């Protein structure tokens, strides 16, 4: 009885070890998501420019007009070839864009969360894009009579702010409506026409870079540009057109500005000061930017082609950004600061022009419902920018009911609108504030995203959607919601097509490789998170049609291409690992494959164990003799298993059955051999751990297959890994694998040294300084290996482990370590044939006894709560400890428990007894060797069995 009680504690500890793995991974995933999205945004922006062209066709005319306006300027600079110059300039611009993008990418890693840096750049970029779009769109609208009317409305709506706003603001408005109205502007315009055309543009450019807030910038540009235009324009119509193109944003921007003007002083978001051109120029960054600006500007104005304009702008924008990017933190953060209301006095003073200000948050959110689509999309883009890396604003948006409005826009037919809305939602969904995630879910944001995912072919939008879903999936309560609404869609829309897997492959089509796209990465990350949501989630994923097949295909493709370090691969392996957890209990029809012994109650299992143990206690001779006997027995078993399994194999396996087919062993071993990614290594080892746990037919096969595929040396080698969690996962996997008797013997012979070297020596931790969980895992594995094998116990002694074990037992500050070491020592002492050698080395019985609770050390290590009960138990065990010790550690349980869902982990269930220990105890059935499984691929003639004891392997001969 005492022995049994001990076992639970051991089991629990094992379970613990595994559990942390899962959790850790999930957390990591989540954090990574946000970062990616942000960075993407910026990239997307650049791409968007191209798309927009179509919309703006009208602009051509306008451009011509514009030219006129600027011609004077151009003339001064370079009359000869304005047109030629433009194209050439354009190219450089494009290049600049590229550079910008790269920077963004770099920044991503830099950010503390991964996000910060990218955010600064990306939001800005997107923001800018949106501005451009506005321009274009606005231009259209402006041209159209309706558009004009809308503008007016906006005017009216914002009339209040107007009143508050200074004259200058009004002027801008006036510009839109009628240029003639604004005397001041005209004056400036005239100047601008002659001398300053560049300047006004310049400010624009400078503006963006400096402030990154698009709205204000636009306005400024607007104002400046508009003024020149007015004078220039020969006809009102022309003027209007021209305005819309360049300045269209202004109308909206203007509206915004007006609004913002009122609140400016108080509003944190106001950009007002920034807009003056003089300031911009004054800014240190300007010098750098100006050259860039000039190029783009010239082109834009000069070029008759819309497309060029667009390109210019984007590049332009990017170009502007470079300066901030160069100092990413300053640039983006500075802008953020301003937005957040933390304006520094100096900046304020620099921005002398009080005319412009950004809309405040309520205004922006209100704009989401604006009748004009570009306003909506601009507002959404602006929100995305504001929310970047700013939890406060995210919260404000939520409290201002902005999230439902954004979600509502997901169904908007215009790509521009739902795209920007996606961007904003992605940023909002990122972060530790789960309320934002819940808010998205509460307004049916998850089905809305899924709907859009089904509908859109726009890569950018798909990246945004899946990024958001990944973010949402990090919050436990949302996982099942995502599964319910999106599992099959994500599988069908993303996982399957990108994995290269085909339901019914054509004969002529070659098998496709997986495409490691961002969309795939995001989606697999999302599924990875939701796959940890307990048995029901696992069941849903396993039964999701095509999912497991596609994941396997993708992983095999990764192995084939030796591309195994990516995040996507990591996500896939983690999903597989999670889905492999408890397959032997949860898979439909699993009971058919259960080992008969496993079906017995815990009580009977206990007795079986005991008998076995007794045998073990009798002496060392047992080891080899018994082993041979078992080998015979196992041979018989094998036959049975073969007949059992074969029928199953007549049909090609598919779906979740693939999870535990022996073929996957090779896949995981390839990953373990080749991948440099610790998370992937841990997950692959974890998958083997899960699959080799349990008492059903398949786990028997898996255990044997790992051996035959030469997996044991691979695993043993990973015991030397620098990564704590890899060592832990491998150690537990070895423990489960050693349920197989041959594996146990091999592991005892060849892994003992590496296992022992991971143990802390004395009070001194080894260089690796492994965590408690890892040390306990290793101790438990050692314990498992030496149970019923005096041979292995002997090699434990040979490996000079006794020193370390005694030291841990006496001096470790960890009760769990102490207990685990004590179990090992008791087992060692139980082999009477070894005592002689031990005594020779100076050990005596006291070294192998558990430290009494009463001792100071014992009390220290055993914190109240868990170990009180266990320690006394151990003492009582002393009599029969050796043999009974084996019962303590149920291997099977360990694996599965580890993977238990987060909830369990949270409960701090480490020390509570594990439920399933009973099945584990019955190992005997497990020890069948499956020497000649048909399922083992025979296409590798050279492969010899790792297990030297197995049926005679062909001698391997390798040419080198």
Distance between CA atoms of 210 and 342, rounded to whole angstroms?
Answer: 15
* Residues written for the chain: 960
CB of 620 to another protein, least distance (A): 19
Site string for another protein, 667-706 (x = CB under 8 A): ----------------------------------------
Q: Which is nearer to another protein, 180 or 713 (CB)?
A: 713
First-to-final CA distance of the chain: 57
CB of 693 to another protein, least distance (A): 24
CB of 713 to another protein, least distance (A): 4
Q: Which is nearer to another protein, 664 or 714 (CB)?
A: 714
At 233, list the tokens: 């324009």
DSSP annotation string for 327-393? SHIIIIIHHHHHHTT---HHHHHH--B-S-----HHHHHHHTT-SSHHHHHHHHHHHHHHHTT-HHH
Q: Is 705 helix (H, G, I), strand (E, B) or coil?
A: helix
Q: Which is nearer to another protein, 101 or 931 (CB)?
A: 931
Distance between CA atoms of 252 and 219, rounded to whole angstroms?
Answer: 9
Q: Which is nearer to another protein, 281 or 710 (CB)?
A: 710
Distance between CA atoms of 266 and 253, rounded to whole angstroms?
Answer: 19
The answer to whether the beta carbons of residues 645 and 639 sit under 8 Å apart is: no
Q: Is 483 helix (H, G, I), strand (E, B) or coil?
A: helix
Give yes or no for residue 393 binding another protein (CB under 8 A): no
Q: Which is nearer to another protein, 592 or 952 (CB)?
A: 952
At 862, list the tokens: 């055993």
Distance between CA atoms of 386 and 377, rounded to whole angstroms?
Answer: 14
DSSP annotation string for 792-821? HHHHHHHTTHHHHHHHHHHH-S-HHHHHHH
Q: Which is nearer to another protein, 346 or 939 (CB)?
A: 939
Q: Which of 155, 618, 678, 750 binds another protein (CB under 8 A)?
A: 750
Q: Which is nearer to another protein, 647 or 955 (CB)?
A: 955
Site string for another protein, 85-124 (x = CB under 8 A): ----------------------------------------
The answer to whether the beta carbons of residues 778 and 759 sit under 8 Å apart is: yes
Question: Among residues 717, 728, 699, which one has the least CA distance to residue 18?
Answer: 728
CB of 34 to another protein, least distance (A): 39
The answer to whether the beta carbons of residues 871 and 819 sit under 8 Å apart is: yes
CB of 947 to another protein, least distance (A): 8
Site for another protein in 129-148 (CB under 8 A): none
Q: Which of 304, 362, 713, 872 binds another protein (CB under 8 A)?
A: 713
Q: How many residues bind another protein (CB under 8 A)?
A: 20
Which class for 436: exposed (0-12), middle (13-18), buried (19 or more C-beta within 10 A)?
Answer: buried
Q: Which is nearer to another protein, 663 or 717 (CB)?
A: 717
Site for another protein in 925-954 (CB under 8 A): 944-948, 952-954
Q: Which is nearer to another protein, 434 or 710 (CB)?
A: 710
CB of 746 to another protein, least distance (A): 8
Q: Positive or negative CA dihedral for 315, 320, 326, 331?
A: negative
Q: Which is nearer to another protein, 230 or 667 (CB)?
A: 667
At 133, list the tokens: 């779009």
Q: Is 447 helix (H, G, I), strand (E, B) or coil?
A: helix
CB of 678 to another protein, least distance (A): 21
Q: Which of 392, 710, 847, 857 binds another protein (CB under 8 A)?
A: 710
Tell me how far CA of residue 898 lies from CA of 772, 780, 909, in angstroms: 15, 14, 11
CB of 662 to another protein, least distance (A): 19
Q: Which stretch binds another protein (CB under 8 A): 537-545, 709-717, 817-825, 829-837?
A: 709-717
Distance between CA atoms of 739 and 895, rounded to whole angstroms?
Answer: 12
Site string for another protein, 765-804 (x = CB under 8 A): ---------------------------------x------
Q: Which stretch binds another protein (CB under 8 A): 324-332, 708-716, 837-845, 930-938?
A: 708-716
CB of 717 to another protein, least distance (A): 8
| Residues at the contact surface with another protein, assessed by CB under 8 A | 710, 712-713, 717, 750, 798, 944-948, 952-960
């Amino acid at each position: 009885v005492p022995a049994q009680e001990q076992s639970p504690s051991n089991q629990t500890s094992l379970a613990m070890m595994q559990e942390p793995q899962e959790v850790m991974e999930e957390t990591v995933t989540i954090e990574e998501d946000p970062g990616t999205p942000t960075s993407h945004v910026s990239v997307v922006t650049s791409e968007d420019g191209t798309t927009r062209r179509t919309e703006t066709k009208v602009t051509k005319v306008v451009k011509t007009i514009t030219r006129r306006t600027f011609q004077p300027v151009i003339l001064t600079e370079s009359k000869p070839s304005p047109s030629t110059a433009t194209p050439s300039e354009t190219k450089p611009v494009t290049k600049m864009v590229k550079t910008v993008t790269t920077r963004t990418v770099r920044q991503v890693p830099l950010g503390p969360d991964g996000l910060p840096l990218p955010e600064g750049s990306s939001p800005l970029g997107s923001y800018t894009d949106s501005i451009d779009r506005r321009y274009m769109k606005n231009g259209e609208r402006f041209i159209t009579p309706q558009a004009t009317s809308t503008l007016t409305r906006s005017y009216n709506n914002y009339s209040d702010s107007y009143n508050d706003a200074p004259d200058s603001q009004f002027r801008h408005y006036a510009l839109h409506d009628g240029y003639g109205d604004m005397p001041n502007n005209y004056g400036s315009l005239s100047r601008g026409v002659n001398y300053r055309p560049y300047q006004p543009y310049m400010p624009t450019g400078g503006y963006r870079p400096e402030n990154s807030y698009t709205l204000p910038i636009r306005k400024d540009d607007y104002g400046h540009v508009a003024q020149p235009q007015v004078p220039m324009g020969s006809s009102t119509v022309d003027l209007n057109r021209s305005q819309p193109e360049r300045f269209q944003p202004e109308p909206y921007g203007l509206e915004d500005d007006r609004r913002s003007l009122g609140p400016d002083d108080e509003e944190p978001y106001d950009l007002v000061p920034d807009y003056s051109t003089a300031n911009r120029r004054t800014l240190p960054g300007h010098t750098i930017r100006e050259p860039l600006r000039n190029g783009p500007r010239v082109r834009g104005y000069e070029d008759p082609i819309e497309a060029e304009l667009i390109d210019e702008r984007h590049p332009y924008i990017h170009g502007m950004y470079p300066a901030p990017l160069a100092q990413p933190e300053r640039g983006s953060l500075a802008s953020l600061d301003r937005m957040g209301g933390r304006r520094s006095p100096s900046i304020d003073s620099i921005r002398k022009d009080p005319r412009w200000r950004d809309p405040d948050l309520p205004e922006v959110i209100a704009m989401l419902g604006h009748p004009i689509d570009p306003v909506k999309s601009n507002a959404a883009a602006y929100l995305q920018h504001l929310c970047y890396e700013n939890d406060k604003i995210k919260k404000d948006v939520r409290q201002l009911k902005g999230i439902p409005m954004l979600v509502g826009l997901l169904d908007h037919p215009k790509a521009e609108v739902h795209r920007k809305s996606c961007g904003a939602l992605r940023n909002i969904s990122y972060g530790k504030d789960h309320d934002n995630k819940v808010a998205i879910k509460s307004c049916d944001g998850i089905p809305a995203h899924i709907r859009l995912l089904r509908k859109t072919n726009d890569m950018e939008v798909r990246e945004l959607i899946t990024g958001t879903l990944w973010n949402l999936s990090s919050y436990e309560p949302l996982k099942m919601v995502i599964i319910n609404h999106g599992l099959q869609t994500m599988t069908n829309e993303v996982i399957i097509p990108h994995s290269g897997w085909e339901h019914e492959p054509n004969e002529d089509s070659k098998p496709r490789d997986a495409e490691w796209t961002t969309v795939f990465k995001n989606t697999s990350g999302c599924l990875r998170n939701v796959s940890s949501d307990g048995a029901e989630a696992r069941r849903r994923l396993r039964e999701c049609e095509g999912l497991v097949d596609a994941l396997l295909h993708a992983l095999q493709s990764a192995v084939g291409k030796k591309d195994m370090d990516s995040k996507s691969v990591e996500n896939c392996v983690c999903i597989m690992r999670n889905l492999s957890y408890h397959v032997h209990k949860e898979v439909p029809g699993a009971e058919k494959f259960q080992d008969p012994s496993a079906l017995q109650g815990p009580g009977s299992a206990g007795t079986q164990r005991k008998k076995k143990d007794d045998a073990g206690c009798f002496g060392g001779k047992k080891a080899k003799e018994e082993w041979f006997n078992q080998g015979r027995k196992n041979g018989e078993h094998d036959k049975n298993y073969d007949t059992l399994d074969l029928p199953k194999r007549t049909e090609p396996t598919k779906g979740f059955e693939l999870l535990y087919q022996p073929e996957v062993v090779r896949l995981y071993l390839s990953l373990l051999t080749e991948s440099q990614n610790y998370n992937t290594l841990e997950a692959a080892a974890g998958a083997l751990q899960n699959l080799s746990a349990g008492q059903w037919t398949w786990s028997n096969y898996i255990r044997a297959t790992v051996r035959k595929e030469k997996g044991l040396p691979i695993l043993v080698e990973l015991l030397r890994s620098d990564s704590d969690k890899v060592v832990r996962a491998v150690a537990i996997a070895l423990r489960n694998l050693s349920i197989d008797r041959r594996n146990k013997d091999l592991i005892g012979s060849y892994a003992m040294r590496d296992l022992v070297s991971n143990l802390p020596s004395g009070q001194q931790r080894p260089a690796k300084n492994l965590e408690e969980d890892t040390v306990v895992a290793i101790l438990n594995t050692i314990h498992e290996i030496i149970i019923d094998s005096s041979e292995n116990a002997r090699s434990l002694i040979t490996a000079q482990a006794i020193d370390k074990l005694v030291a841990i037992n006496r001096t470790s500050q960890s009760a769990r370590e102490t207990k685990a070491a004590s179990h090992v020592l008791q087992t060692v002492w139980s082999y009477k044939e070894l005592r002689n050698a031990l005594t020779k080395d100076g050990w005596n019985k006291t070294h192998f006894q558990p430290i009494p609770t009463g001792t100071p050390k014992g009390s220290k290590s055993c914190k109240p709560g868990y170990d009180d009960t266990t320690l006394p138990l151990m003492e009582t065990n002393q009599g029969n400890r050796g043999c009974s010790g084996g019962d303590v550690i149920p291997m099977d349980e360990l694996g599965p428990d580890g993977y238990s869902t987060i909830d369990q982990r949270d409960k701090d269930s480490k020390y509570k007894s594990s439920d399933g220990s009973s099945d584990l105890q019955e190992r005997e059935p497990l020890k069948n060797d499956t020497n000649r499984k048909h399922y083992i691929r025979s296409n590798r003639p050279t492969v010899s069995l790792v297990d030297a004891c197995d049926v005679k392997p062909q001698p391997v001969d390798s040419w080198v």
